[in-house]
Amino acid sequence: MHKTNQFIYLLLFLICGSNAVAQEKMELGTLTESEKSFALYEKDTTASAVYLYEYGDNYFEIRDDYIWLITKYHAKIKILKKEGFEHANIEIPLYRTKDRKEKLVNVKAITHNNQAKIYVNKSEVFEEVVSEKGSLIKFTFPNVQEGSIVEYEYEMQSPFYFNFTGWNFQSEIPKIYSEFNAKIPGNWLYNRSLKGGLSLDVNEAEIVKGCFKFPGTKRDSDCEALKYVIKDIPAFKDSEEYMLSSNNYRSKIEFELSEYKSFYGGTEKYTKSWEDVDKEFKTDQDIGSQLRKKNFFEKNVDQKLLTEGDDLTRAKNIYQFVKNHFTWNEEFGIWHNNKVKTAFDDKTGNVAEINIALINLLNAADLKSDMMLMATRKRGLPKKTHPVMNDFNYLIAKVDIDGETYLLDATDKYMPFGMLPFRCLNYYGRVMDFDNESYWYDILPESSNAIMIRAQMTLDPFNKKLSGIFDFINTGYKKVSQDEILETTKEEEYLEKLEEEISDDFHIISHEKNLKYSDDKKITERFNFEIENLFQGDNIYLNPFVIKFFEKNPFVSTERNYPIDFGYPMKYQYILNMKIPEGYKLKSLPEGKNFTLPNSGGLLKLSVIDNESGTLNLFFTFDLNSAHYSNEYYSGIKQLFNEAVNGQNQSLIVLEKI
C-alpha cells in the first residue's frame, strides 16, 4: 500500500476511534437499557457504587455586563450495595467573598427505581455556610435502595472567572465514562496539566472563531474548545496507610491562569518567575515586613540568649526559647495577616508567626537564617516548573551553622532541634534567600528512628509465673511520639493501657524513665513485669514477644498504583535472653525467618538460639531503610509486613518437664 494512503487510513482510524470513545451528551431523566440492567461492575467487583456517566461543560458568558464562568454538570451514579448509599448524599462547594459569591441554579435530581422516578423537591435543596469564604449546597436523594440510579445536574455561576477549576476524573468510586468540555476565550491564557497515572481517551482542541464578545468593544474573541474524556476509571483508594496527599496522584485536569489580555488593551501576567516572587517578598507588607523585626526581638529578650555560647548552642537555646514561649493555635496562617509582635506579646500564634519570630531571633543572634516555604504532606507537592504560591501552606526556618544545615519548626514542643514535625516531611521546599535568590532545598528526615526492646526473662515453676525486665528504647520520631504520650498521660493510665494491650496475664511491677540512657533524640524506659498462666500441665507455653510491634498488616490491597511513603526510615528490634528453669527442657522453638527487599530496601530477620547452657536468645529485626518506595516495591513490602506480623503472632516457645 502506498505510504500516503497508509497515513490517511491511520488518520481516519484515529479520528473514528476518538469519536467512538466519546458519547453523545445525555439528557436528564433518560436511561439506556444497559444502565437499567447494570448490576455488577466487573472491573471492580468490590465497588459499592459506580458513575455510569459524568459530563461537565465550562465556558465564559456575559450576564448583566459582567463576565461569569459557567459550569454545567450532569452525573448518573448506580448504587450497587448498601455501603454505596452515602453517594446519594450530595455536597457542592461554593466560594464567596464579602461582595461576591458563586451561586447554583437549575438543580435537578432524580432517583430511578426500575420504572419509577422520584424527584428531589426544590425545598429539599439547601445551603449551609461553613466559613466566611465557603458554603455547601446539600441535598439527599429519596428512596434509595440497592440498584437505584441517582441522577442530577446543575449550573454553577461564578464571578471568579480567574478560578478555572478544571476537572477531577478520579474519585473514591469507579467511573465508566467521564467527559469534560471547556470553551476558553483567547483573552485568557491558562497553563494546563494532566495529573495522575491515567491517559486521556479523547484529547481534542479546536479554535472557534468569534465565540465571545465583550459589551462596549468592537472586537470578538476566538475561543479554544477543549474536550477531554477518560473511560473505565478505577476508584482512587486513599484509605491505605503510608501515602502522601492524594492530590499528587489522583487523575485530573488542572488549569492555572497564566495571562489575561484586557478587551480594552493591556496585559496582566499571573504566572511569574521566582525572581519576580523574590522581589515581591522583599517589599511585602505581610510576611516580608514581618521578617524585618529583629530589632523588636533584640529589645524584648534577654541579651544572654543572643550572645552566650557558640553558634550551635545559641541556635539551640533560641529554638528552645521560642518553643517554650509560644503556644501554637493549630493554624498555618502562611498567607494571613500575620502580626509577629502581637503574637509574641500574646504568647500564641500560627505557624508563620511562630517561625518568623524564630527566624528574627536567629538573625538577631548573627545566625544567618532564611524562611523556607513548603507544603504539608496533606497539601500535595509544590510545582517546580514555575511559582504557584497557592501550592504552599507552611513555612519553617533554615539556618546554616559550621557547614551544617538545620531545618526548624518551633510549633511542636516535643520536636528536637533539627527535626521537623511529620506533617512537614514532604520532599522539598523553597528557601527565600533575600540576599541572593530563592532556591529549592530537599527535606531529609531524621535517619535514626527505632523502637528497640531488650528483655530478660526468668521462669519460676514453683510460683508458676514468669518475671522479667525489659528496656523500651525509642529514638528519632519514635522518641517524639513516646515523649508526647508520657507528657500527656498520667503514669497510672499509661501503665494500665499497656497492660490491657499486652494481655490480662501481664502485670507491670515497676516503671521508670532511665535518664542516664536518654537524650533529646532517645528515650529509655525500664519495666519490671510478671506474666501468669503460662503453665499447662507439665508444659510451659510462651509467646516470646511480650510487646508486638505490629498487630496487623497495614497493606491489604492486591496492588498499589502510587508510591509508599513512610515519612522516614525506621527500625524495630527485639532481643530476648531467657533462662530455662531447672527440670525443664526445650520442646519446640519458633522457626527462623529471613526476608529482604530488593536493593537493600529493607529486611526481616528472626532467629532463636538454644545456647544449651540453660538459656536461649531470640533476635528479631525489621528494617525499612528508606522513607519512600515506588509502587514496584509494594508486593515486597506487603510480604515483609506479613512475615513480621506472622512471626510475632505465631511464635511459640514450648518447654516440657523432664
Whether 400 has a pLDDT exceeding 90, the answer reads yes
Which CATH architecture best describes the domain 450-657? Sandwich (2.60)
Interval 571-585 mean pLDDT: 94
Per-residue pLDDT tens for 56-102?
Answer: 999 999 888 888 999 999 999 999 999 999 999 999 999 999 889 99
Q: What are 435's three cell numbers?
A: 540576599
d(CA 649, CA 436): 57
H or E element in which residue 500 lies: helix 491-502
419, three cell numbers: 527535626
Can you tell me whether residue 232 is helix, strand or coil? Answer: strand
What's the pLDDT at 163?
A: 80
Mean pLDDT of 397-418: 97
**What pLDDT does 217 receive?**
74
Q: Is the pLDDT of residue 12 over 60?
A: no
- pLDDT given for residue 17 in this prediction: 44
Which amino acid, 277?
V
pTM of the predicted protein model: 0.87
User: How far apart are the C-alpha atoms of 419 and 475, rounded to whole Å?
Assistant: 12
**Percent of residues, the chain, with pLDDT higher than 70:** 97
Summarize the confidence of residues 148-157 as an average pLDDT. Answer: 98
Mean pLDDT of the chain: 92
1: pLDDT strictly greater than 50: no
Contact predicate 336/351, CB 8 Å: no
User: How confident is residue 462, by pLDDT bands cut at 50, 70 and 90?
Assistant: confident
Side-chain half-sphere CA neighbours of 540 within 13 A: 26
Q: Which of 335-339, 403-407, 445-449 has the lowest mean pLDDT?
A: 335-339
β-strand partners of 149: 78, 112
Of 345, 376, 344, 375, give the one whose Cα is nearest residue 358: 344
User: 163 near 94, Cβ under 8 Å?
Assistant: no
- CA–CA separation, 254 and 166 (whole Å): 5
339-348 burial: b if 16+ Cβ within 10 Å, else e: ebeebbeeee
Those residues with Cβ within 8 angstroms of residue 394's Cβ, 6 or more apart along the chain or in another chain: 332, 334, 351, 373, 374, 375, 376, 379, 423, 424
3 state DSSP class of 616: strand
User: What local confidence, expressed as pLDDT, does residue 15 receive?
Assistant: 42
Which strand ranges, in their side-by-side order, compose the sheet holding 220-233?
A: 116-119, 103-113, 149-158, 66-79, 49-63, 175-185, 220-233, 202-213
361 vs 310: CA distance, rounded Å: 15
Instruction: Encode pLDDT of 609-644 as tens digits.
Output: 998 888 999 999 999 999 999 999 999 999 999 999
Task: Using pLDDT thresholds of 50, 70 and 90, give the confidence band for residue 168.
Answer: very high
Higher model confidence: residue 205 or residue 284?
205
Average pLDDT over every residue of 489-510: 94
Vertex 338: Cα angle to 333 and 341 (nearest 5): 130
Which amino acid is present at 278? D
Could you tell me where the beta strands, DSSP code E, fall in 13-102? Answer: 49-63, 66-79, 89-95
Query: Length of the chain, please?
Result: 658
Q: How far is CA 261 from CA 63, 161, 389, in A?
A: 20, 13, 22
Residues sharing a CB contact under 8 Å with residue 167, sequence separation 6 or more, in sequence order: 56, 178, 180, 228, 252, 253
Q: Are the C-beta atoms of residues 480 and 415 closer than 8 Å to each other? A: yes
Fold of 274-442: C8orf32 fold (3.10.620)
Report the alpha-carbon distance of residue 464 to residue 150 in Å, rounded: 65
Cell of 409: 519548626
Asked if the model's pLDDT at residue 155 lies above 70, the reply is yes
Count of CB atoms situated within 10 Å of the CB of 393: 19
DSSP element (H, E) containing 501:
helix 491-502
Tens digit of pLDDT for each residue in 175-196? Answer: 999 999 999 999 999 988 999 9
The alpha carbon dihedral of 24, 25, 27, 29 has a sign of positive
pLDDT of residue 416: 96
For residues 109 and 461, which has the higher predicted lDDT (pLDDT)? 109
pLDDT higher than 90, residue 219: no
**Cell numbers that stand for 586 in this block:** 526445650
Residue 71 CB: number of other CB atoms within 10 A? 20
Per-residue pLDDT at 111 exceeds 70: yes
Cα–Cα separations (whole angstroms), residue 446 to 411, 522, 564, 625: 18, 12, 18, 12
Q: Please list the residues that pair with 203 across neighbouring strands.
A: 228
Three-state SS annotation for 426-481 = CCEEEEECCCCCCEEEECCCCCCCEEEEEEEEEEECCCCEEEEEEEEEEECHHHHH
Give the chain's largest Cα–Cα span: 106
pLDDT at res. 21? 62
Please say if the pLDDT value at position 536 is more than 70.
yes
- Where are the chain's structural domains? 12-176+187-199+232-269, 274-442, 450-657
| C-alpha span between 280 and 262 (Å, rounded) | 23
Q: Are 542 and 534 in contact (CB under 8 A)?
A: yes
**Residue pLDDT, tens place only, 28-65:** 999 999 999 999 999 999 999 999 999 999 999 988 88
> pLDDT exceeding 90 applies to what percent of the chain?
76
Per-residue pLDDT, averaged over 589-605, amounts to 96
Q: What is the CATH number of domain 12-176+187-199+232-269?
A: 2.60.40.3140
> Pick from 416, 194, 202, 371: which is nearest to 281 by CA?
371
> pLDDT band at residue 558, thresholds of 50, 70 and 90?
confident
With a cut of 60, say whether residue 164 has pLDDT above it.
yes
In this model, does residue 5 exceed pLDDT 60? no
User: Which residues, including other chains, have CB under 8 Å from residue 436's CB and lie 6 or more apart?
Assistant: none
What's the mean pLDDT in 491-498? 95
Q: Who's near 409: CB < 8 A, 6+ residues apart?
A: 351, 355, 396, 397, 415, 420, 421, 424
Radius of gyration of the chain (CA): 31
pLDDT in tens, 113-146: 998 999 999 999 999 999 888 999 999 999 999 9
- φ and ψ at residue 260, rounded to 5 degrees: -125, 125
64-68, 197-201, 205-209, 487-491: which has the minimum mean pLDDT? 64-68
